[in-house]
C-alpha cells in the first residue's frame, strides 16, 4: 500500500507508528517489570503464530516492542493493521 | 572493564560478540520456526529473571538475539559473561 493509505489506517491502531517510510508498523508497550513484558511478548507471539503472521518482538525490563510487516511484499498489507489491532486488544483490561 | 578485558573474556562465550565499543555483549541464535525462537527467548528470560540480571531479547521467525549489559555501570561486568555462558548452555543438546 502507499504511504498515504498506511497513514490513513493508523487511525485504527492507536499507539502504532510507521517505520521505514511506511514499510513497517511498530508499537512499544510498557510494563512494571521484566516478566510482565515477557508474558505480553508470548501472548502476542502465540496470537501471531495462530494467524501465521509473525512479527519481530523485542523485550526487556519494562518494555515490549512489536513490529509487523509483510515479508512477501516487503512492506505493509492490510493484514498487518488487523494484527496490530488484535495486539492492542490483548493489552486492554 | 576495559575493551581488552572484555575481548579476553569472549573466548569463554563462543558465538558472542562485543557491541558499542565493548559496552554490550550479543549473540543471535537461529531456529527452524517462530515458536522455537520464542521458546528459547522465554527459557533465556526465565533464567535471567531468576538471577535478576535482565537482557534485551529480540525474536521473530527463525532467530532470537540476546544482549547483555550492566545498566548500573553502563557497560560490561564479569557477570554478563557468566550469564552469556549460561545462555549458551541452554542451547546445548
Q: Where are chain A's structural domains? A: 3-90
Res. B10 pLDDT band, cuts 50 70 90: very high
Chain A residues with CB under 8 Å of B54 CB are 34, 60-61
Instruction: Please indicate whether, in this complex, the C-beta atoms of A34 and B56 are within 8 angstroms of each other.
Output: no
pLDDT by residue (tens digit) across A31-76? Answer: 999 999 999 999 999 999 999 999 999 999 999 999 999 988 989 9
Which pLDDT score is estimated for B89?
Answer: 95
Chain B residues with CB under 8 Å of A49 CB are 34-35, 38
- Complex ipTM above 0.90? yes
Which pLDDT score is estimated for A93?
Answer: 59
Instruction: Please indicate whether, in this complex, the C-beta atoms of A58 and B61 are within 8 angstroms of each other.
Output: no
C-alpha cell at B59: 525474536
Instruction: Please indicate whether, in this complex, the C-beta atoms of A56 and B58 are within 8 angstroms of each other.
Output: yes
C-alpha cell at B10: 569472549
Compute CA B82 distance to the chain's CA centroid, rounded to the nearest angstrom.
Answer: 10
- CATH homologous superfamily of A3-90 equals Transcriptional coactivator/pterin dehydratase (3.30.1360.20)
Q: Number of A:B CB contacts under 8 A?
A: 50
With CA atoms as reference, report the closest residue to B5 among B73, B72, B60, B87.
Answer: B73
Residue B11's alpha-carbon distances to A30, B8, B21, B53, in angstroms, are 36, 6, 17, 21
- pLDDT over 70 (residue B91): yes
Per-position DSSP letters for chain B, written without gaps between them? --HHHHHHHGGGSTT-EEEGGGTEEEEEEE-SSHHHHHHHHHHHHHHHHHHT-PPEEEEETTEEEEEE-BGGGTB--HHHHHHHHHHHHHH--
Residue of chain B whose Cα is closest to the Cα of A39: B42
Question: B58 at the A interface (CB within 8 A)?
Answer: yes
- pLDDT over 80 (residue B73): yes
Helix (H, G, I), strand (E, B) or coil at A71: helix
Residue A64's alpha-carbon distances to A34, B10, B12, in angstroms, are 9, 28, 30
- pLDDT over 90 (residue A1): no
Amino acid at each position: 500500500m502507499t504511504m498515504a493509505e498506511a497513514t490513513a489506517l493508523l487511525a485504527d491502531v492507536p499507539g502504532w507508528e510507521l517505520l521505514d517510510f511506511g514499510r513497517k508498523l511498530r508499537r512499544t508497550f510498557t510494563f512494571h517489570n521484566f516478566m510482565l513484558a515477557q508474558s505480553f511478548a508470548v501472548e502476542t507471539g502465540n496470537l501471531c503464530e495462530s494467524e501465521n503472521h509473525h512479527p519481530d518482538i523485542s523485550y526487556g525490563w519494562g518494555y515490549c516492542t512489536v513490529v509487523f510487516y509483510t515479508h512477501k511484499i516487503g512492506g505493509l498489507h492490510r493484514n498487518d493493521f488487523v494484527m496490530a489491532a488484535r495486539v492492542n486488544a490483548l493489552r486492554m483490561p
